[in-house]
Structure 1
């Protein structure tokens, strides 16, 4: 059974995603990224810090050359609440620890300042990475982590693929669409043509997923704007060989997440050919040489 992150915990963050990552720690939804509103990382768990350590990461010119791991022995009450086996250990990354071994942390306590490490793509927002290791296993390893689910409803939002640029970065743009049905009140995500809320990097990461509590049946096909984008396999979606295009130009991909503050699409684009105020139309087209980033 997956560890079910309660809605009261998720509500402390503006966005979350289980599949929007190239790293194996997220395979089949075995980790969750939580995006706070500020510059510090609020704890999503309660327990006692077992250890902290500094870890190496890929060398990126825009990022820190090290990251940090915080290992927490979870309280029994937190485990009961989420369905985690007693003795489960939490692994948290991307926070410069303001805690140390022996400290007790509660949900919402500050773990430290968020850090942008070389594990991040340039377009990725600061976040807390959370995963779980079963009892009596190596807490440092990411592989073999417990599956994670979100115990919160995520509304599926239809979108015709058009919008206006409201933010431009070196490798991304953010659009003003799709609109959030109730900002600040509940989570929402881009819907497939079938009405399924989608999660992940479409299609620049090999796999994605959904925000459904129950996985889709294996072999279930999903489409977007009339083009098939992937097929369900286990808890994941295997993206088809396809490309995301913006105004007819092939781009890196589309970043998908569950959002409480706004669903506005983030288009990952090596060198954006548009600026703030420009109109953009997003589409998907088959491509036998799709962009695939990372190591998944």
Structure 2
């Protein structure tokens, strides 16, 4: 049993990812992170708020000391549109709730401001974390979410790995490439050499993903994925376990490359590099090479 987000559930969101996280739900494709246009948590679902709860989160110097959970009992009609069993429940994190139990929410309603949570890395933009539980399952436990599919096409973007730094954060550098071919229209993602749109943290999170890898594009079964001539893993359906590889920037190892599907004009490669300083305007060339000791970030 799984839940398939209908296209309008992504209205108001510029990006999404199912695998760009070290947490088990994302490893299994049982959650999706949705990145809004502004700093507000937009509802991707329709139903009635059952409960809101404040929860503790890992202590990070850049993040709030607490996070928030919004539990929504989904409308029967929304469940039918999402191919979900009637009675399925949604769990939403990383939003400070401005809704209360008993409130009805529709797709696109404002739930409250997003919050910078210790559950995600400093290089990660604010987002809405969405997961689902089967009828009768606990909505409060951290585990037990259903697989999530997204009913939108993700176009592959080929790229040679070179670009210029246009933004520098404390732990990342954003490049001006690859460029989105149709900003504001379809979703797109960096593709492997074989044309597989890639998702996840390459390769700082052990589990990655392949957009459109659920059989809807004729790509059933396992398929080797290479990037810039180096094998990075094997895509089997939507999952992709990274091979032991390192990402290099101008010949030196960095933590990794943050991958997601986007439809905004500001799309570009996000290089995770807390120990490297790149200047705005600096040219950067990325490569992927086999590694005996690949970077793997956990949840600690």
- TM-score grouping bracket, smaller chain normalisation: over 0.9
Aligned to 1:244, the other structure's residue is in SS state strand
The alpha-carbon deviation at position 150 of structure 1 amounts to 0.9
**Equivalent residues in 2 for 1:238-253 (5 A)?**
238-253=241-256
The alpha-carbon deviation at position 120 of structure 1 amounts to 1.5
Aligned to 1:95, the other structure's residue is in SS state coil
- CA–CA distance in 1 between the matches of 2:92 and 2:125? 16
TM-score by length of 2: 0.96
- Quick one: which of 234, 239, 259 aligns to 1:231? 234
- CA–CA distance in 1 between the matches of 2:209 and 2:92? 21
Q: Is the 2:35–2:127 contact (alpha carbons within 8 Å) kept by the matching residues of 1?
A: yes
- CA–CA distance in 2 between the matches of 1:120 and 1:214? 26
TM-score by length of 1: 0.97
Partner of 2:289: 285
- CA–CA distance in 1 between the matches of 2:15 and 2:233? 23
The alpha-carbon deviation at position 9 of structure 1 amounts to 1.8
- Quick one: which of 286, 290, 298 aligns to 1:294? 298
Stretch deviating more after TM superposition (132-141 or 265-274):
265-274
**Equivalent residues in 2 for 1:116-131 (5 A)?**
116-131=116-131
1:146-192, Cα deviation, whole Å (9 max, x unpaired): 11111001100000000000000010000000010010011100010
Stretch deviating more after TM superposition (44-53 or 138-147):
138-147
Q: Is the 2:214–2:237 contact (alpha carbons within 8 Å) kept by the matching residues of 1?
A: no
Stretch deviating more after TM superposition (215-224 or 245-254):
215-224
Stretch deviating more after TM superposition (94-103 or 206-215):
206-215
- CA–CA distance in 2 between the matches of 1:235 and 1:39? 29
Partner of 1:192: 192
The alpha-carbon deviation at position 219 of structure 1 amounts to 4.1
Q: Is the 1:19–1:26 contact (alpha carbons within 8 Å) kept by the matching residues of 2?
A: yes
- CA–CA distance in 2 between the matches of 1:170 and 1:97? 28
Q: Determine whether 1:272 maps to 2:271.
A: no
Q: Is the 2:212–2:238 contact (alpha carbons within 8 Å) kept by the matching residues of 1?
A: no
Q: Is the 2:222–2:234 contact (alpha carbons within 8 Å) kept by the matching residues of 1?
A: yes
**Equivalent residues in 2 for 1:47-58 (5 A)?**
47-58=47-58
Q: Is the 1:165–1:176 contact (alpha carbons within 8 Å) kept by the matching residues of 2?
A: yes
The alpha-carbon deviation at position 145 of structure 1 amounts to 1.0
Aligned to 2:131, the other structure's residue is in SS state strand
The alpha-carbon deviation at position 10 of structure 1 amounts to 1.4
Aligned to 2:124, the other structure's residue is in SS state coil
Partner of 1:138: 138
- CA–CA distance in 1 between the matches of 2:103 and 2:112? 13
Q: Determine whether 1:255 maps to 2:258.
A: yes
Structure 1: runs of 5 or more not aligned: none
Aligned residues: CA RMSD: 1.4
Q: Determine whether 1:4 maps to 2:7.
A: no
The alpha-carbon deviation at position 11 of structure 1 amounts to 3.3
- CA–CA distance in 1 between the matches of 2:292 and 2:152? 36
- CA–CA distance in 2 between the matches of 1:78 and 1:104? 13
Q: Determine whether 1:112 maps to 2:112.
A: yes
Structure 2: runs of 5 or more not aligned: none
- CA–CA distance in 2 between the matches of 1:2 and 1:166? 39
